[in-house]
Structure 1
Amino acid sequence: MRDLTTIASAAVAARPADRPRRFAVFCGSSYGRHPLHGQVARNTGRLLAAAGIDIVYGGARIGLMGAVADAALSSGGRVTGVIPEALNLAGVVHRGLTSLEVVADMHARKARVLQLAGAILVLPGGLGTLEEVAEVWSWAQLGLHQVPIALLNTAGFYDHLMEFLRAAAHSGFLSDADLDRVMVDTDPARLMTDVLARLAAAEVSAW
């Protein structure tokens, strides 16, 4: 298995010039039990498309992943899927995307998604979603990228995660600066506005 530095270095190398107008979306391959999860996922896809922001995500047609992609596509948005060879299966992979990239494994998938993304929106999901956000957050902590990360806290889904992270910061295992790297909101439009504001501020500070 490749070490973290190698994977992350590949992820942050040579991004396209239009990267800030393409957001990564991490979310579940299931719908979850709360009806708001599907509704908010679809609304997020529509909002991104309306704002002219492309999506890059894990390439599945199922669950919240499929809901975001379908809503964006039906609203005229562009969606890129990145899927590992092992999951490139009928019934799983979305064949109606703007573009689909098949990569070797899960590590390559995360690296490629981060390479293409100007920001990362995290909707509700399970272990896969948790692993994705934890890894890209830890890469940011190590200074390997500065891509904004935002949690869409639908129906309080991420309340317990944030409680744990605040406890980690209080106990000295996480700095306040690292905790503040991630934006959290219950409203997708407001969260997207905050992400775009952070991107704009970063662009100004770069000058």
Structure 2
Amino acid sequence: MQKARYQGHATALSFGISSNGNSQVAVTFEIAHPDEHHGESITWIGHFTDKTAERTIESLQHAGWQGDDLSELDGLDEAGVRAALPEMVELVCEPEEYTPDNGPVEWILRVRWVNKPGAGRFAFKEPLTGQGLKAFAAQMRNTVRSVRGGGAHRSSNGSAERGGYEQRNPPPSGRATSHPNAPGNRNDVPY
């Protein structure tokens, strides 16, 4: 059992109260990810505390909920849940230790986050898109072609220089390569 991300659709939903007296929602998702878990179900439990209520509601909205009255989600059958929460979501799952009543410790896969597909990934503070990306791509075109063709010397701005390959000095100490991590001549060991 390991950390994983799955895509899924909501199939069941219910509300309850935790042992701490906090309101909760449990949403069961059917895994739609094309792997060995396709068709299996996993349940996410969202909490409505002062710190977590907004993120729980956001998760329901990622699943497609458009309303503002949580009670409209109560008592829905599978078709009703699929209609109220129609969007595919990405479930971020992690293993968690669980101790059932009077039982031995078990490991379960727990849904930690319900996200929009592709969300929760790395995001640049300043994304390169649109015309800026097109200009950068044009600037890099010769470098890309050079790398694809076997490599030519590139100037500091990333564009390939005209005129072929640069003549390089032979590596020091008779080494076969000048790479800083390449093995050296065994006669130059400092001990």
Superposition TM-score, scaled by structure 1 size = 0.20
Whichever structure has more helix as a proportion of its residues is 1
From the CA coordinates, give the structure whose radius of gyration is larger.
2
Superposition TM-score, scaled by structure 2 size = 0.22
> Relative contact order, CA 8 A, sep 6+: which one is greater?
1
Whichever structure has more strand as a proportion of its residues is 2
